Amino acid sequence: MTRPEDLLYAVDERPPWPRLLFLGLQHAMLLSVNLVLIVIIFRRAGATDAATLSALSLGMIALAISTVLQSIRKGPVGSGYLAPPVFSAIYIGPTVLAVGAGGLPAVFGMTMFAGLVEIGLARLLRKLRALFPPAISGLIVVIVGLQLGIIGIGDLLGVEHVHRPAFHYHLMVGGLTLATMCALSVWGRGVARLICSLLGVVIGMLASIAAGLVPADSMRSFLDAPILAVPEPHYLSYDFQFRLIPAFLMAGTAAMLRTVGVITTCQKINDLDWKRPELKSIQTGIVADGIGCVIGGLLGAIGMNSGVGPVGVAKATGATSRYIAFSCAAILVIFAFIPKYTALFLIMPQPVIGALMVFTASFMIAGGIQIIVSRSIDSRATYVVGVSLLLGLSREIFPAYFKLGAPLLHQFTGSMMSVGVLSAFLLNFVFRIGATRSATFEFEDSDMTAAEIERLLRARGRVWSIPSDVIDRAVGSTEQVMQHLADADLIVGSPSLTMTY
């Protein structure tokens, strides 16, 4: 591993204590922004403010544990990188379904199931690589973004408040919040750009209070919240809904794929000579992520997953030290015992929440598209992505249609995620028939040179749209094999070379 010069504190370097505390505080506050997803789910479930406050506190403890697990370098758990988790939009769609099917107990039970799915997939990562080409990986991220964005755009536009007197205030606050986030992200500099979403939420909150959009009972709950208190998990109970297995299976798979991307990004950031993903740290990172999700369910929170945002902030600040994870975790635990801090998320109104969800969803949709087009799109990938995305969207547009089938089918058609991802897997499996291509090159003994072999392999690679890094490895390996054969005088007659992809 070669240390990049632009990093102030690389992965194994410990910053001085004052800076370590400041960097940990920054990450703790960034992770706290996604606590709003817990508020969304608990409000949909009709939970009391007291239960929501306890869930927020226990959720921060779960975040702290998972952050530390991910930073461990040795053993079967942990990637050894600063890749803290966030309460993830990946789980929002399935979690909303769980609320309707069995309330909060179903949310907690199915969240643990999703974490176990992720842990199981980590052990099969090498064997499953062919099932998750960039087209499917990117499609999953796009669908997650669409799920989150559809919910968020409803809150942002005030769809439920159209006929109420305060509708125009609702729309103005949502627009102001989203505009602030986007403007600071595009034109901001320094710290303002790094915490653009947090600043947008603050401005949106102030505007909401001024416009009278914060309910009096929510404001009273904030004012009455004690400064220090121990979380009371009196609301905890667990349930398992078999009909939700497909939705949470897809969510766990999507979380695994996102973790692969996050850990790979960490490897790139911390190694100037990075060439290809190192699977061991990715596998142990997935295990840590899955355990964190299980812990989240046990403590009465929702699903969490390694976050892209914290890794981006670490890169932007030049501080990728894994020791920051320990500082961040300690601060999160302290925050967990300060209900006044967690109560801030109770007074967050719908337009602010909607703006934050749309802002996050935009990044996820764009990021998913980038993953899809990171490899050349052939006709097979075109149909896998296009048909699957349309089927997934149709689940949201025509929900009644998907309820007409047999009850058994409802397990696979309960959400955009389950419909879209299942369609993608099936189509990818079908289109793999006949996908293997082969070409044989015949040589005269005098024509078999390293330059000629490289020319033929690269020419065929361009025709087949093979990634350049794959061709580079194939050329190097082939030249070494041919050189060994030539040195041992094992090449007799007219040799041939067969290339298969």
**Per-residue pLDDT averaged across 457-465, rounded?**
83
pLDDT for 194: 62
* pLDDT tens digits, 127-171: 877 777 878 878 887 887 888 788 889 989 988 878 888 899 999
Rounded CA separation 345/302 (Å)? 15
Residue 86 has pLDDT above 60, yes or no: yes
* pLDDT tens digits, 222-258: 888 889 999 988 899 999 999 899 889 988 988 998 8
Lowest mean pLDDT among 300-309, 326-335, 482-491: 482-491
pLDDT for 257: 83
Residue 405 has pLDDT above 80, yes or no: no
pLDDT for 447: 63
Residue 251 exposure: Cα atoms within 13 Å on the Cβ side? 36
Burial class of residue 479, CB neighbours in 10 A (0-12, 13-18, 19+): middle
pLDDT for 335: 96
Strands 304-306 and 438-442: unpaired
What are the backbone dihedrals phi and psi of residue 492, each rounded to the nearest 5 degrees, phi first?
Answer: -125, 135
Confidence of residue 84 (pLDDT cuts 50, 70, 90): very high
pLDDT for 85: 96
pLDDT for 445: 60
pLDDT for 391: 94
Type and span of the H or E element at 138? helix 134-157
Rounded CA separation 343/341 (Å)? 5
Residue 211 CB neighbour total at 10 angstroms: 17
The DSSP output letter for 374 is: T
pLDDT for 183: 92
> Contact 113/51 with Cβ under 8 angstroms?
no
Lowest mean pLDDT among 199-213, 326-340, 356-370, 379-393: 356-370
Percent of the chain scoring above 70 in pLDDT = 98
Residue 486 has pLDDT above 80, yes or no: no
pLDDT for 160: 81
* pLDDT tens digits, 102-127: 999 999 999 999 999 999 999 898 88
Q: Which amino acid is at 393?
A: L
Residue 392 has pLDDT above 80, yes or no: yes
**Per-residue pLDDT averaged across 357-363, rounded?**
82
**Per-residue pLDDT averaged across 29-49, rounded?**
89
- Mean confidence (pLDDT) of the chain: 87
Rounded CA separation 225/216 (Å)? 14
Residue 446 has pLDDT above 60, yes or no: no
Residue 285 has pLDDT above 90, yes or no: yes
pLDDT for 493: 72
Strands 438-442 and 85-87: unpaired
Percent of the chain scoring above 90 in pLDDT = 36
> Contact 36/202 with Cβ under 8 angstroms?
no
What are the backbone dihedrals phi and psi of residue 9, each rounded to the nearest 5 degrees, phi first?
Answer: -135, 105
Lowest mean pLDDT among 114-123, 347-356, 439-448: 439-448
Rounded CA separation 181/164 (Å)? 27
